[in-house]
Structure 1
Amino acid sequence: MSTTRIKFDNGKVVSKDWLDAHPDAAQALLEKHKASYPVCLCNPEKALPLYIAQKTIFYLARMPGTGDQHASYCPFFGAPPAMSGLAVYRRSAIEEKDHDRVAVKLCDGLGVRATSAAGSGGRGRGSKQGSNPQRSRLSLRALLHYLWTSAEFNRWAPKMNGKRNYYVLYKYLMAAADNIEIQNTRLSAYLYMPEPFVFEEKQDIARRAQQRLYHLLLDAGGRRKRMLVVGIVKRFTASPFGYGVHLKHAPPPLILWMKEDTLNNFLGEAGERLEDPNALLGDTHHLVMIMTVDRTTNGNLSIVKAAAMKTTHAYIPFENPYQVTLINALMPSRLFSRQLRYDADGETIVPDFLLLDAGKQAVPMYVFGFRKQARQDAAIRAHIKHCEDTNEPCWFWDVLWDKTTYPDYPDAVDATESSRSLS
Structure 2
Amino acid sequence: MTGALEAMRRFKIGGDIYGDDAAILQGALAAAHERRERPLCLCREEGLPMYIARMGGQYVIKRMPLTGGGHDPSCDSYESPYELSGLGPLMGGAIQVDPDSGMAALKLDFSLSKTGSRAVSQQIGQDPDSVSGEAKKLSLRGLLHYLWHEAELTVWTSLWTGKRHWWNVQWHIREAAKQMIVKGRPLAETLYVPEAFRVDRKEEIEKRRAEALAPAVSPASGPRRLMVLIGEVKEFEPARVGRKLVVRHMPGFPFMVDEDLHRRLRARFEREFSLWEADDRSHLMAIATFGLNPAGLAVIEEIAVMVVTENWIPYESIHEKKLIEALAVMREKSVKGLRYNLSAGQPIANAMFQSRAQPVALYIVPAAADETFEASLQEMIAARAEIGSWIWRISDGDMPPLPL
2:388 aligned partner: 393
1:378 aligns with 2:363: no
What's the offset of the Cα at 1:266? 2.0
Number of residue pairs aligned between Structure 1 and Structure 2:
395
- Note the 1:11-410 alignment, pairs <5 A: 12-16=16-20, 18=21, 24-27=26-29, 30=32, 35=37, 38-41=40-43, 43=44, 47-53=46-52, 59-89=60-90, 91-97=92-98, 98-111=100-113, 113=115, 116=119, 119-120=122-123, 125-128=128-131, 132-218=132-218, 224-252=224-252, 254-272=253-271, 280=277, 282-332=279-329, 333-357=331-355, 359-371=356-368, 373-374=369-370, 377-379=373-375, 382-383=378-379, 393-402=388-397, 405-410=398-403
> Aligned partners of 1:28 and 1:273: how far apart in 2?
42
What's the offset of the Cα at 1:267? 2.7
> Aligned partners of 1:133 and 1:225: how far apart in 2?
30
What is the CA RMSD across the aligned residues, in angstroms?
3.3
Whichever residue aligns with residue 321 of structure 2, its letter is V
Q: 1:28 to 1:179 in 2, by over 3 A?
A: closer
What's the offset of the Cα at 1:207? 2.9
What's the offset of the Cα at 1:74? 1.9
Question: 1:64–1:99: 8 Å Cα contact kept in structure 2?
Answer: no
Gaps of 5+ in 1: 412-423
> Aligned partners of 1:294 and 1:175: how far apart in 2?
23
Residue 85 of structure 1: SS of its match in structure 2? coil
Whichever residue aligns with residue 96 of structure 2, its letter is E
Question: 2:231–2:248: 8 Å Cα contact kept in structure 1?
Answer: yes
Residue 226 of structure 2: SS of its match in structure 1? strand
Cα deviations across residues 28-58 of structure 1 (Å, max 9, x unaligned)? 57469965762422x4xx5342145466876
What's the offset of the Cα at 1:147? 0.6
Whichever residue aligns with residue 399 of structure 2, its letter is Y
> Aligned partners of 2:226 and 2:14: how far apart in 1?
50
Cα deviations across residues 175-222 of structure 1 (Å, max 9, x unaligned)? 111221111111111112221101111222223323322333346988
> Aligned partners of 2:308 and 2:276: how far apart in 1?
15
What's the offset of the Cα at 1:118? 7.2
**TM superposition score normalised by structure 2:** 0.85
> Aligned partners of 1:80 and 1:381: how far apart in 2?
15
Identical pairs, percent: 24
